[in-house]
Structure 1
Amino acid sequence: MLPRLSLLARSALKGAGTPAGGVRVVSTLPEMPPCDFQPSPYKGISYEDAMHRRKTKLTPALLTYYKKPVMVYQGHMQWLWDVHGQRYLDLFAGIVTVSVGHCHPKVKEAAKEQLDLLWHTTNVYMHPPIHEYAEKLTSYLPGDLKVCYFTNSGSEANDLALLMARLHTGSFDIISFRNAYHGASPYTMGLTAHSTWTYNMASGFGHHHAMNPDVYRGLWGGAHCRDSPVQTDRSCSCAAGECMAKDMYLEQLHEVLRYSTGKKVAGFWAEPVQGVGGAVQYPKGFLKEAYAMVRERGGICIADEVQTGFGRLGSHFWGFQTHDVMPDMVVMAKGIGNGYPLAAVVTTPEIAQSMTQALHLNTFGGNPVACAVGSAVLDVMEEDGTQQNSADVGTYFLLELAKLRDEFSIVGDVRGKGLMIGLELVKDKGTREPLPGPDVVSIWEDIKDMGVLIGKGGFYGNVFRIKPPMCLTKQDVDFGVAIIRRAIEKYCEQTQQTKAAAVN
């Protein structure tokens, strides 16, 4: 039987500091929730050998989490095991990708069955899974969003959507938000407005970045702006049903259209909730008016659902539905295949016709195994009730994390919807000055050492990204919040000790 609370978690509790005033503050941690699954014994290369190969055989630009990286080798639902047998609660889902659970039995079985029949044939030939999956996937989309282009990643899907937007409209100008992330290919790098991920090269021809309508960190925002169980702590004097912040950000978008683009634009990109940017939410009603503004200029509207789609926001299957808008194209990836390489652009028959100007195919897009997996994922979402679970458990998670904002001076904001959550750390709540990077990392590392994996993002790298597999339970939430609380407590205790020592 594996220990319910890891040895790392137990050791992390030893020697906790005593803050100035002499009162020792130690949270009582619950035991790690039980898991009946038994991982198989690890028999692969050693950790040390893998680290050497990573440094010498893989690109030096490869991002690696943690000072002592976790080397995982097996997963089951919301759990991961490393090569040392350590169990972790996965609250990041392989960067918001594992939607229904690691190695979900039904999805795994669908992949095995298809592997026994046909692994691959390009789309110049017909095979049943792609046609069956296209029919099933489009049944989840409203209106005339009925034509699928299958690809392998979100960057590739956004790349294709860019091409279609320009071909269909005959225009070139594209608009996205500052702080947005839509991919890192040479074409999509112009869409992405986040310098952390942008190389110093020509990539932004025809791209224009509007002010990010961030109601916490932006110029305007109040206490009732966003579609979330947790609002900002900024004061708000807006009358009922009105939002000054929304109107001010819309005016900024209008300024971009007025001064920076031609009389016609090709397209407007927006994530329903910004992912890499730190779970940023826009003012309620903003996106609907922004869509109308862009369409007045002849542009089409693209919803980037790579992270928000497939029920993750809880109240709706698609993130754009939470804004009461109808996009012209929907880009999806990550959770679409529960970790299997699969992505898609779904659009209208009219827009799809634009691609007939030349021949088009994708060697691996719509692969038989990928389509079988994607179809099984949709079935599991219905059978397991993952969307409702995201609503119930996600709301509970947000409200529990909101208590940390009330408790700790360094927790500046808690936000999100469903199981797409951000917790922003600050040095000063009044100025919203970000907590310095090394301080954020020390808390983040401590959380990992106590058995919980979370992401990190936002422009300043000061936002904990919490986007777990959608099979998460409230018991898991209690454990995860307790670990995050203890890591923050330890940081605050150590900070107080350092200040006290400096005074003495």
Structure 2
Amino acid sequence: MSQQADKPVSNERVEAQYEEYLMPIWKSLNVPIKRASNCTVEDFEGNEYLDVFSGISVTNAGHNNEAVVEAAKEQLDEFVHGCTYVHPNEPAAELGEKLAETTPGDLRKSFFCNSGTEAVEGAIKLARKYTGSKEVLALEMSFHGRTLGSLALTGNKAYKSEMAPTINDVAHVAPPYAYRCQMCDGGPCSCACAEDVKHVIDTHTADDLAAVIVEPVLGEGGIIVPPEGWLSRVKEIAHDHGALLIVDEVQAGYGRTGEMWASDHFDVVPDIMPQAKGIANGLPLGAFTASAEVADAFESGDHLSTFGGNPVACAAALATIEQLEDGIVDNAREQGAWLSDQLAELEAEYDVVGEARGLGLMQGIELVDHSGTGPMDVAPAPDAKLAKHVAKHLREEKIIMGVGGFHSNVLRFQPPLTISQKQLSRTVDALRDAIEAHRGDSSA
């Protein structure tokens, strides 16, 4: 029996158990959760926080969404597990059909797994099987997961330190990061970073390209939105070289950007589309979806997942999609437009706000220090210290906001898509106060 079993549950106890028994895999937001509802979470001492991060962009339909919870409970009463790929079940079958209807263009067949990382790795396997080629191109500053295969695709050494990615046939290309673009020399965007894909293929590959994988909006990279025409040009180059375009919608999908899929903003249909995070509103589920032609390259035994497509998670996913389509995506679009205007005002008001950017309710502001120079001198230096101070200030005001970006200087607005304008207004006001209070703290 645990030595703490006779002690009342408290923030302190849970944090102590984490310290003693859980591996320190990621930085904590220091807000233990006892319960959650819609856009708020509550700790063990009764403190209520406005959640503007939604478990890293997961609870898109709101914490503890009643319809999603009820769907999961109903399936729990029927059966919990039979391995979807051994025993066909109705929730997985219905979800497969629903994704065929919901995903872009001719995407039709899905494989269910447990996470975004697994969805990405499965997509790479499928692309290799379909094309007969092995090499993959990914973006610098991208994030696709933390297992060894997906880590090879991720374009950030901070995640790779002391790890040895097992996919060797990976090259990286310049990201569509206009604020710190090293190709357009401060002038109007020319989409030169898209042309870099062709350059890297010609100079860094062995003419054995299976896929180019991109995020339609880079999440961990710092909420980076590609310029118009970039994604379609990347797809064209990939196809010219006999490769597939994999669009990783794990973080940007399921209404996050104000459209069901971020790809929809750019009128591009991926060849394979990994998904996860918002798919089941917090239950563990991932998927990758492809056209029938591409999907049928898989033969029996090529890929499998014991828990993938768990019927409880699939039932929750069906309810989640129904909730998203019933006005929640519309709310993300409307509130996102309002929020974008507010953040643009902050950019104009404070020189420490280098850039505000995003789509829908996937927004970020990049904090900078004008006393230093940034990468290649194209923008002021990233200010990670200020971002940390601001996030801590917000947490003290009972608002949870994520910090990320390649340079750890981007404040991330990724709330439940059910958030109200009143709640967003509270967040923006608190953010303004935090910037006022800490904009001189970079050297602290």
Please give the TM-score of this superposition, normalised by the length of structure 1: 0.82
2:88 is the counterpart of 1:126: yes
Report the Cα offset of residue 96 of structure 1.
0.5
Query: Given the alignment, which residue of 179, 194, 212 partners 1:268?
Result: 212
Say yes or no: does 1:382 pair with 2:325. Answer: yes
> Would you say 1:103 and 2:59 are equivalent positions?
no
The Cα shift of 1:342 comes to: 0.8
**Other structure's SS at 1:72 match:** coil
TM-fit CA distance, 1:382: 2.1
> For residues 31-180 of structure 1, what are the structure 2 equivalents within 5 Å?
45-60=9-24, 62-66=25-29, 69-123=30-84, 124-180=86-142
SS in 2 for 1:382: helix
Equivalent in the alignment of 2:273: 330
| 8 Å contact from structure 1 (residues 425, 463) kept in 2 | yes
Give the distance between the partners of 1:434 and 1:85, measured in 2 at CA: 40
Q: Does structure 1 residue 412 correspond to structure 2 residue 354?
A: yes
CA deviation profile, 1:234-271 (whole Å, cap 9, x unmatched): 664xxxxxx52x1x213322210111112241001011
| 1:329-363 C-alpha deviation (Å, 9 max, x unpaired) | 11000000111101101112222222206354211
Correspondences of 1:339-350 after superposition (within 5 Å): 339-350=282-293
Runs of 4+ in 1 over 6 A off after TM superposition: 493-496
* Offset of residue 494 of structure 1: 6.2
Partner residue, 1:370: 313
Question: C-alpha separation between the residues in 2 aligned to 1:103 and 1:495?
Answer: 38
SS of the residue corresponding to residue 340 of structure 1 reads coil
Percent identical pairs in the alignment equals 33
Which of 387, 408, 411 is the equivalent residue of 1:440?
387
User: Conserved in 2, the CA contact under 8 Å of 1:434 and 1:462?
Assistant: no
Which residue of structure 2 lines up, in the alignment, with residue 21 of structure 1?
A: none
Alpha-carbon distance in structure 2 between the residues aligned to 1:493 and 1:468 = 28
Conservation of the 8 A alpha-carbon contact between 1:434 and 1:460: no
| Aligned equivalents of 2:417, 2:59: Cα separation in 1 | 8
SS in 2 for 1:109: helix
Q: Which stretch shifts more, 159-168 or 436-445?
A: 436-445
> In the alignment, which residue of structure 2 is the partner of 1:211?
174
Change (3 A) 1:487 1:324: same
In the TM superposition, residue 49 of structure 1 has moved relative to its aligned partner by 2.2
1:280 corresponds to 2:224: yes
Contact 2:361/2:415 (8 A) holds in 1? yes
- Structure 2 Cα separation of the partners of residues 482 and 235 of structure 1: 33
State the secondary structure of the residue aligned to 1:355: coil
SS at match of 1:470: coil
**How big is each residue's C-alpha offset from its partner over 1:80-100, in whole Å with a ceiling of 9 and x where there is no partner?**
111111111111010001111
CA drift at 1:294: 0.9
AA matched with 2:57: V
Distance 1:257 1:360, change over 3 A: closer
Q: TM-score, normalised by structure 2?
A: 0.93
Q: Distance in 2 between matches of 1:456 and 1:264?
A: 38
SS of corresponding position for 2:107: coil
Q: In 1, distance between residues paired with 2:249 and 2:279? A: 10
Kindly indicate whether residue 160 of structure 2 is the aligned counterpart of residue 198 of structure 1.
yes
Does structure 2 retain, via aligned residues, the 8 Å contact 1:294–1:300? yes
1:75 match: secondary structure: strand
Looking at structure 2, the residues matched to 381 and 102 of structure 1 have their Cα atoms a distance apart, in angstroms, of 13
Does the alignment pair 1:293 with 2:237? yes
What are the ranges of 5 or more consecutive residues in structure 2 without an aligned counterpart?
1-6
CA shift, 1:493, in A, is 6.3
Counterparts of 2:226 and 2:123, CA distance in 1: 23
Q: Matched residues in 2 for 1:380 and 1:44: separation?
A: 37
For structure 1, the 5+ residue unaligned runs are: 1-42, 223-233, 237-242, 499-504
Go from structure 1 to structure 2 and tell me whether the alpha carbon gap of 1:453 and 1:107 turns closer, same or farther (over 3 Å shift). Answer: same
Counterpart-to-counterpart distance in 2, 1:175 and 1:441: 32
In structure 2, distance between residues paired with 1:359 and 1:153: 19
Helix, strand or coil at the partner of 2:179: coil
Partner of 2:262: 319
| Letter matched to residue 200 of structure 2 | V
Does the Cα contact within 8 Å between 1:214 and 1:221 map onto a contact in 2? no
Q: Give distance in 2, aligned partners of 1:137 and 1:428.
A: 47
Q: Which amino acid in the other structure matches residue 348 of structure 1?
A: S
User: What SS does the corresponding residue of 2:104 show, helix, strand or coil?
Assistant: coil
How far 1:406 moved relative to its partner? 1.1
Separation of aligned partners in 1, 2:342 and 2:17 = 41
What is the root-mean-square deviation in Å for CA atoms of aligned residues? 1.9
In the TM superposition, what whole-angstrom CA distance separates every residue of 1:367-424 from its partner, at most 9, and x where no partner exists? 11011000000111122x1111111100101110111111111110000010000110
1:385-396 to 2 correspondences below 5 Å: 385-396=327-338
Distance 1:441 1:311 in 2: 28
Distance in 2, Cα, partners of 1:444 & 1:172:
42
Contact 1:410-1:435 within 8 A present in 2 as well: no
Q: Is the contact made by 1:404 and 1:411 (CA closer than 8 Å) also made in structure 2? A: yes
Deviation by residue 1:435-462 (Cα, 9 ceiling, x = unmatched): 4433321111001101111111111100
Distance apart, 1:495 and its partner CA:
7.5
Code of the aligned partner of 1:434: A
Shift of residue 220 of structure 1?
4.1
Measure how far apart 1:201 and its partner are: 3.6
Q: Which amino acid aligns with 1:341?
A: P
**Against the structure 1 CA distance between its residues 194 and 493, is the aligned structure 2 distance closer, same or farther, given a 3 Å change threshold?**
closer
Q: Radius of gyration: which is bigger?
A: 1
Number of the residue aligned with 2:408: 461
What is the rounded CA distance, in whole Å, between the counterparts of 2:231 and 2:253 in structure 1?
16
- Return closer, same or farther for 1:139/1:495 CA change in 2, 3 Å cut-off: closer
Between the aligned partners of 1:308 and 1:393, the Cα distance in structure 2 is 16
Cα deviation per residue 1:279-319 (whole Å; 9 max; x = unaligned)?
011121011011111111100011100111122211x3211
